């Protein structure tokens, strides 16, 4: 589609370099953002075992142990979704959104933005804002659960967190990103019991010096928690 885009005179709209840049952005967002959210979630959950218990209780009630979790179960996995959203809040993949340029003079939240301004939003600045979030550095999935048990969405129209962006320039893959992130965490939690390495009572959740990824890859032990026949059927499929 990108290659065949042409203007009214039949000229190619995008250069090869522009197409490569777009494809790279799509690839990074699709793969790295969900995996980063899940790794940070496991990091945080290993330090708070009661969160693991709640997540497994939900999986056992909604899915059980006789089959693997499927996409059709996602609408009922409120706590799992809340864990992913909390990970995106505290540990965004990148410090800023993609640059936006204002097309006209405007005022947003009391700030005057002249036409032509490059607008960048701080992801950690929003997600860790103490004026919005109680104990902003504490991993607490319950903060995203609603009393009416309505589904937890991973983006936030009020921009209290910046996960998939919003509006006309919002991420086109928000549904895919949600599905990949929630399913990855749900499968890992359902299939294995996770524990920190020996003599490691606490895992330090530290960001890298030059990026927001974990400073060290997560090291944890995974023990199967389902019947062994389940794993054979998974590999056969």
What CATH number is attached to the domain comprising 204? 1.10.630.10
Q: Which residue has the higher pLDDT, 62 or 155?
A: 62
- Residue 12 included in any domain: no
Range of the domain at 158: 22-95+123-236
- Residue 102 included in any domain: no
- Residue 111 included in any domain: no
Chain-centroid distance of CA 48 in Å reads 19
Q: What pLDDT, in 10s, does the model give residues 41-63?
A: 999 999 999 999 999 999 999 99
Confidence of residue 29 (pLDDT cuts 50, 70, 90): low
Torsion of CA 216, 218, 220, 222, to 10 degrees: -150
- Residue 167 included in any domain: yes
What ranges in 3-146 are assigned the alpha helix state H?
16-47, 49-62, 78-90, 123-127
Number of domains in the chain: 1
- Residue 78 included in any domain: yes
Rounded Cα distance between 41 and 43, Å, is: 5
Q: 126-130 long-range CB contacts below 8 Å, 24 or more apart?
A: 126/159, 126/160, 126/161, 126/162, 127/88, 127/89, 127/90, 127/92, 127/160, 127/161, 127/162, 128/89, 128/90, 129/160
- Residue 13 included in any domain: no
- Residue 159 included in any domain: yes
pLDDT of residue 137 exceeding 80 = yes
Q: Which residue has the higher pLDDT, 30 or 7?
A: 7
pLDDT at 60: 95
- Residue 145 included in any domain: yes
Q: What average pLDDT does this structure show over 136-150?
A: 89
Rounded Cα distance between 195 and 177, Å, is: 27
Q: What pLDDT, in 10s, does the model give residues 187-206?
A: 999 999 999 888 887 788 88
């Amino acid at each position: 589609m990108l290659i065949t885009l042409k203007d009214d005179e039949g000229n190619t709209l995008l250069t090869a370099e522009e197409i490569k840049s777009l494809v790279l952005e799509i690839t990074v967002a699709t793969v790295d953002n969900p995996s980063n959210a899940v790794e940070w979630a496991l990091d945080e959950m290993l330090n708070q075992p009661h969160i693991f218990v709640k997540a497994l209780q939900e999986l056992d009630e909604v899915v059980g142990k006789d089959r693997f979790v499927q996409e059709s179960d996602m609408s009922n996995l409120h706590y799992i979704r809340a864990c992913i959203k909390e990970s995106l809040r505290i540990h965004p993949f990148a410090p800023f959104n993609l640059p936006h340029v204002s097309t006209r003079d405007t005022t947003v939240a009391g700030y005057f933005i002249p036409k032509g301004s490059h607008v960048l939003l701080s992801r950690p600045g929003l997600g860790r804002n103490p004026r919005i979030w109680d104990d902003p550095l504490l991993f607490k999935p319950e903060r995203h659960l609603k009393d009416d048990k309505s589904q937890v969405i991973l983006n936030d129209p009020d921009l209290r967190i910046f996960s998939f962006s919003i509006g006309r320039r919002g991420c086109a893959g928000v549904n895919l990103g949600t599905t990949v992130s929630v399913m990855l965490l749900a499968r890992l939690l359902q299939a294995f019991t996770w524990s920190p390495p020996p003599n490691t009572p606490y895992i330090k959740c530290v960001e890298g010096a030059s990026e927001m990824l974990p400073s060290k890859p997560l090291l944890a032990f995974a023990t199967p928690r389902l019947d062994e026949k389940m794993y054979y059927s998974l590999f056969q499929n």
